[in-house]
């Protein structure tokens, strides 16, 4: 047999071997419902990853804390038990990357365009790079929405919060802002919030409309106060050893999957929020309380001391870089 025939034959064997090789499995765990922006984005990630790699990558999505609760997710990722997560900023503080908690500051951004000047620019990239030392590949920010308050009474002014037990994520910044209002913050896993609200273990909580709707918090809270007090987003991350170990051809494809899934998430988030608010209103189970500009300003002034209080924790340089990117400053009320 001529040499060129052997080359063709060996090429065919290589292609067949590649086709027969076991697919690379990516476990993607998250704590929210499948019909939230994050849930839909996770499914989109799965769809296009499997299509574009022709099945060489298979993605298994586990929503609603099926595998791990909030505090367990990052440990699992670092150990390689899961390969991809999309947690909120609060998860990185206990890990030692406290700079992310700067994005939890109250009334940090006026709107999503202002937020994206930070997360989609150099500041966001510098924050993602800080995860490398923890064995985590920071892939992208998913800009979700702004948070609203729910409780069994309207929360419109600082005094309304006094003595309230408010569920928060494990964030020193969130803790400080609730204490600035006179509330008693209660750290609690997301999967436990509904029952805690139902039984009165906590009096209220904050989340975007999509989480309030899909987790049915509106069923056990009489009032939803439109405070827009906190920026809510996710950070798409991967186990660094796994991500760096992908074959070069697949790594290139998966980088594209990350980029396009991020664009998809950011595209659907605003509409999902609007749809969720409409469904909450239609349920008639909770009363929507829209704060005035002056009422929001009063809340912001009450929480303004938190900026100086947490500056040593999150880093003055990080805060200054955020102010520079947005052209805004908390002192400019």
Which of 184, 186, 185, 182 is closest to 158 using CA atoms? Answer: 182
Helix axes 316-326, 122-129, angle to 10 degrees: 150
Strands 223-239 and 136-151 turn out to be antiparallel
- pLDDT level of residue 223 (50, 70, 90 thresholds): very high
Domains, in order of start, for the chain: 21-326 (3.40.190.170)
Q: Where are the alpha helices (DSSP H) in 236-292?
A: 240-244, 248-283
What does the angle CA 143 – CA 145 – CA 146 come to, to the nearest 5 degrees? 130
What does the angle CA 113 – CA 217 – CA 204 come to, to the nearest 5 degrees? 85
Contacts of 278 (CB under 8 A, 6+ apart): none
pLDDT for res 71:
74
Q: Could you tell me if 40 and 61 are in contact, meaning their C-beta atoms sit under 8 angstroms apart?
A: no
| Percentage above 70 pLDDT, the chain | 94
pLDDT at 3 over 60: no
pLDDT at 212 over 80: yes
pLDDT for res 250:
97
- pLDDT level of residue 286 (50, 70, 90 thresholds): very high
pLDDT at 229 over 70: yes
Cα–Cα dist 87/68, whole Å: 12
- Other C-beta atoms closer than 10 Å to the C-beta of 249 total 10
- Other C-beta atoms closer than 10 Å to the C-beta of 66 total 11
Q: How remote is the C-alpha of 292 from its chain's centroid?
A: 27
The tokens of 298 are what? 């009063």
pLDDT higher at 4 or 109? 109
pLDDT for res 329:
84
Exposure letters 278-287 (e unless 16+ CB within 10 A, then b): eebeeeeebe
What does the angle CA 89 – CA 65 – CA 24 come to, to the nearest 5 degrees? 90
Distances (CA, A) of 309 to 39, 88, 133, 191, 306: 35, 21, 27, 30, 5
| Percentage above 90 pLDDT, the chain | 89
Give the pLDDT mean for 121-137: 97
Cα–Cα dist 1/97, whole Å: 62
The tokens of 11 are what? 């090429």
Which of 121, 148, 183, 176 is closest to 287 using CA atoms? Answer: 148
- pLDDT level of residue 25 (50, 70, 90 thresholds): very high
Strands 287-290 and 223-239 turn out to be parallel
Mind listing the pLDDT tens digit for each residue in 310-326? Answer: 999 999 999 999 999 99
Q: Could you tell me if 43 and 34 are in contact, meaning their C-beta atoms sit under 8 angstroms apart?
A: yes
Cα–Cα dist 243/42, whole Å: 17
- Other C-beta atoms closer than 10 Å to the C-beta of 320 total 12
């Amino acid at each position: 047999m001529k040499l060129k025939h052997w080359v063709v034959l060996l090429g065919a064997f290589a292609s067949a071997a590649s086709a027969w090789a076991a697919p690379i499995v990516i476990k993607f765990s998250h704590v929210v419902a499948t019909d939230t922006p994050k849930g839909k984005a996770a499914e989109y990630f799965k769809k296009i990853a499997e299509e574009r790699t022709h099945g060489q990558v298979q993605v298994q999505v586990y929503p609603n804390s099926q595998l791990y609760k909030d505090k367990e997710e990052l440990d699992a990722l670092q150990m390689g038990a899961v390969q991809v997560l999309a947690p909120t900023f609060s998860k990185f503080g206990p890990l030692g990357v406290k700079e992310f908690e700067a994005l939890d500051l109250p009334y940090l951004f006026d709107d999503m365009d202002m937020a994206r000047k930070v997360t989609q620019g150099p500041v966001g990239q510098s924050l993602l790079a800080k995860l490398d030392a923890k064995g985590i590949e920071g892939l992208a920010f998913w800009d979700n929405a702004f948070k609203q308050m729910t409780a069994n009474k309207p929360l419109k002014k600082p005094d309304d919060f006094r003595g309230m037990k408010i569920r928060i994520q494990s964030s020193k910044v969130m803790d400080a802002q609730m204490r600035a209002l006179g509330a008693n913050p209660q750290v609690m896993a997301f999967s436990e919030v509904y029952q805690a609200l139902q039984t009165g273990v906590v009096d209220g909580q904050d989340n975007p409309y999509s989480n309030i709707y899909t987790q049915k918090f509106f069923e056990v809270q009489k009032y939803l106060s439109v405070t827009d007090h906190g920026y809510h987003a996710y950070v798409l991350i991967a186990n660094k050893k796994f991500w760096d170990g992908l074959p070069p051809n697949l790594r290139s494809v998966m980088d594209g999957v990350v980029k396009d899934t991020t664009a998809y998430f950011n595209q659907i988030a605003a509409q999902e929020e609007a749809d969720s608010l409409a469904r909450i209103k239609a349920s008639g189970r909770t009363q929507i309380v829209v704060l005035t500009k002056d009422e929001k300003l009063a809340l912001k002034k009450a929480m303004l001391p938190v900026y100086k209080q947490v500056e040593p924790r999150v880093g003055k340089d990080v805060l200054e870089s955020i102010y520079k990117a947005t052209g805004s400053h908390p002192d400019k009320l």
